[in-house]
Amino acid sequence: MTDIADIVDRYTEVWNKVDADRRQKAVGELWAGDGYYANVTHEYRGHSQIHEAIHEAYEDFVEKGFTFTVHNYQVNHNSVRITWHMVPGGGGDVAAVGTEFIVLGPDGLIQSDYQFMEVDPTQ
C-alpha cells in the first residue's frame, strides 16, 4: 500500500494547485481511471469529471483567497478519513470544515471519495 501520509499530502495539494494542467495531472496520479468523487450536491466519475469538480472548487474558493489544509486524518485498512479546513490564505478564522471518506484500491489510487460538510461557507 502506498504511504498514506503521502496520499493525504498530494490530495490536499491538488485542491490548492494554481495551474489547471498540474491539477489535471495530479488527478490522474491520485484517482483510478474509473474513480468516483461525490460532494453533497453532485457525483463525478473518471478523471475528467473529477478534475472538473476540483477546478470548480478552485474557482469558488482558492482563486478567491482561501486555502484547504488538513486538520487530521485517520486510516482504517484501505480507507482514510480526512478532516480539512478551508482558511483565508493570509490567515484568519476557519471558513469551512469538511470530511472526506476515501477508499483506496490495491494500487494505492483513490477508488471513491465522499465529501461531508461540517461547516458550509455558503450558509
Split at pLDDT 50, 70, 90, the class of 121 is low
Calculate mean pLDDT across residues 55-73.
Answer: 96
pLDDT of residue 1: 46
In this structure, which long-range contacts are made by residues 48-52, counting pairs with CB atoms below 8 Å and at least 24 apart in sequence? 51/23, 51/24, 51/27
The ranges assigned to domains in the chain are 4-119
CATH of 4-119, one of 3.40.50.460, 3.40.109.10, 3.10.105.10, 3.10.450.50: 3.10.450.50
pTM of the model: 0.91
Q: Nearest Cα to 12, choosing from 60, 54, 41, 75?
A: 54
CB 49 within 8 A of CB 31: no
pLDDT digits (tens, 9 = 90+) for 1-49: 459 999 999 999 999 999 999 999 999 999 999 999 999 999 999 999 9
